[in-house]
A and B are shown apart, each in its own frame.
Chain A
Amino acid sequence: MVTVTTVDTLQEAAASSAGQAVFLGGGTLVMRSVNYGELSVPQIVRLRSVAALRSIRADGTRIVIGAAATMGDILRSSEVSFLHPVARQIGGPAIRNMATVGGNIFAPHPYGDFAVALLALDAKLRLSDGSETDLESLLAARDNEKRLVESVSIARPAGDDFRFRKVSRVKPKGVSVMSLAAWLPRSAGRISGARIAFGAMAPTPVRVRAAEAALEGATLDENGIAGALAAATQGLTPPDDGLASGWYRSQVAPVHLKRLLLGEGSRT
């Protein structure tokens, strides 16, 4: 049966049960597994208080978000208003008052839409052992990660450089067929250092480097993005699930990427 251990610090939590226990963030995924008897190791560790890990603050050109900040916290913070459209796409209000930024990074397919946005925004993570890593590296090996995330630092995009879309079958709330985020820094109208991330197109949120490279120096118009669209799913073998087949995801990804980049056909 499930055991629950309550500790005071992230370090204790990470050390608890030799890293075997599952850490309880907002509970939206862990408690679901508990309810359905699906925890592989029925041990939960949780923090007595997460207040210290919920802050959202500016740090130079970047913004630092505590791992225990909820989607509701994001929506109440003017510091990260560019992330409001992302947080609003996560569940209903009750879920948003529970689901955390840190938890979203570990959410299995097809969840984890917020992490897609973080990935596009060049997220760097501070971990429970005091080390730092970038989100992309952590995602690549997240199933074996024993450390816990303390905070996330992201770039502060200028103007409309940041875009996000979530494609779902049910409106207004549905699970992702895919989610897409792009950070498109521009100077004199030309893109430089674009980051494009997909969710629900791979086991974890992923960047598509070929599409990013195709945007280098390009303008944000039909001609400028043609190369990126052609490379939209390069290297990806999207999964099949109850919402969509991998084939379908591959077919429609360029369509949604085009809408994301050109701001077309936006539907909420």
Chain B
Amino acid sequence: MTKKPVQFRLNGSPAAVFVDEGQNLLDLLRRGVGDLSPKYGCGQGTCGSCTVIIDGEPRLSCLTLAETVEGQQVETTNGLADGPDLHALQEAFMENFAAQCGYCTPGMLMAAKALLDRTPRPSREEIVEAISGNICRCTGYEPIIDAILAASGQPTRRTG
């Protein structure tokens, strides 16, 4: 099986790896690079738990051919915190009980970050739209929506 070299930036740092033909980005990140934060939930684009940010846009890593990220910027939940300092979204998810089993959380965080990077104070409707490709079976979504509102400095059901 042929291996192909790929160079990209992962959470700001350069990454250079060999990929298998047909390998998807999720598998490359998890097994090739050892970034375990994106999760496998379906392999078919329906659950959103593998969401990463590529060149500023949310994408699904399980449906991205790994070799196509050559030269691109990839962001994952693993790079969300700045050293010991958590991202505002991470703090808000913790405070608002926005995770139960936690499996969808990295994908949710990436979808939410992609939203806040473009729209610092999104409306509730914009938040619902932004996470509409991410399935959570535990929380019922409301705590997640609250957390994203809180992370953008807006009132939630609880505080507002």
Direct contact of A and B (CB under 8 A): yes
- Using a CB–CB cutoff of 8 Å, the interface residues on chain A facing chain B are 1-4, 6, 24, 26-28, 31-32, 34-36, 42, 44, 46, 72, 88, 91-95, 97-98, 172-173
Closest to A172 in B: B132
- Given contact pairs A1-B22, A36-B43, A98-B63, A93 touches B68 in the complex (Cβ within 8 A): no
- Given contact pairs A1-B22, A95-B45, A27 touches B133 in the complex (Cβ within 8 A): no
Chain B residues whose CB sits within 8 angstroms of the CB of A98 once the complex forms: 59-60, 63-64
Closest to B115 in A: A93
Among B2, B58, B67, max chain A CB count under 10 A is at B58
- Given contact pairs A28-B45, A31-B62, A72-B57, A93 touches B24 in the complex (Cβ within 8 A): no
Chain B residues whose CB sits within 8 angstroms of the CB of A91 once the complex forms: 45, 133
A54, chain B: closest CB distance, angstroms: 13
A107, chain B: closest CB distance, angstroms: 12
B114 pairs with A93, CB closer than 8 A: yes
Chain B residues whose CB sits within 8 angstroms of the CB of A94 once the complex forms: 48, 51, 57-60, 111, 133
B69-113 interface (Cβ within 8 A of A): 111
Chain B residues whose CB sits within 8 angstroms of the CB of A3 once the complex forms: 2, 21-22
Cβ of B116 within 8 Å of any chain A Cβ, yes or no, is no
Chain A residues whose CB sits within 8 angstroms of the CB of B128 once the complex forms: 172
Chain A residues whose CB sits within 8 angstroms of the CB of B130 once the complex forms: 93
A–B Cβ pairs within 8 angstroms, 17 of them: A2-B21, A3-B2, A3-B21, A27-B64, A31-B63, A32-B43, A35-B62, A35-B63, A46-B65, A91-B45, A92-B133, A92-B134, A93-B58, A94-B58, A94-B59, A95-B60, A98-B59
B1-32 interface (Cβ within 8 A of A): 1-2, 4, 21-22, 24
Chain B residues whose CB sits within 8 angstroms of the CB of A27 once the complex forms: 63-65, 68
From B63, B68, B129, contact of A28 by CB (8 A): B63
Closest to B43 in A: A35
Considering the chains assembled together, what is the distance between the CA atoms of A97 and B67 in angstroms? 17
Closest to A2 in B: B22
Considering the chains assembled together, what is the distance between the CA atoms of A173 and B130 in angstroms? 12
Chain B residues whose CB sits within 8 angstroms of the CB of A173 once the complex forms: 132-133
Considering the chains assembled together, what is the distance between the CA atoms of A27 and B68 in angstroms? 10
Considering the chains assembled together, what is the distance between the CA atoms of A245 and B67 in angstroms? 40
B64 pairs with A4, CB closer than 8 A: no
Chain A residues whose CB sits within 8 angstroms of the CB of B62 once the complex forms: 31, 35
From A2, A24, A32, A88, contact of B44 by CB (8 A): A32
Considering the chains assembled together, what is the distance between the CA atoms of A53 and B145 in angstroms? 36
Q: Could you list 11 further interchain pairs (A-B, Cβ under 8 angstroms) beyond the known A1-B22, A98-B60, A172-B129? A: A35-B44, A35-B63, A36-B44, A46-B65, A91-B133, A92-B111, A92-B134, A93-B111, A93-B129, A94-B51, A95-B133
Considering the chains assembled together, what is the distance between the CA atoms of A88 and B126 in angstroms? 12
B110, chain A: closest CB distance, angstroms: 8
From B24, B59, B129, B131, contact of A97 by CB (8 A): B59
Chain A residues whose CB sits within 8 angstroms of the CB of B111 once the complex forms: 92-94
Chain B residues whose CB sits within 8 angstroms of the CB of A72 once the complex forms: 57
- Given contact pairs A46-B68, A91-B45, A95-B45, A35 touches B59 in the complex (Cβ within 8 A): no
A4 pairs with B133, CB closer than 8 A: no
Among A3, A35, A92, max chain B CB count under 10 A is at A92
Chain B residues whose CB sits within 8 angstroms of the CB of A2 once the complex forms: 21-22
Chain B residues whose CB sits within 8 angstroms of the CB of A24 once the complex forms: 65
From B51, B67, B114, B129, contact of A4 by CB (8 A): B67
Closest to A50 in B: B68
A34 pairs with B24, CB closer than 8 A: yes
Interface string of B114-152 (1 = CB under 8 A from A): 110000000000001111111000000000000000000
From A32, A34, A88, contact of B22 by CB (8 A): A34
A189, chain B: closest CB distance, angstroms: 35
Considering the chains assembled together, what is the distance between the CA atoms of A22 and B21 in angstroms? 14
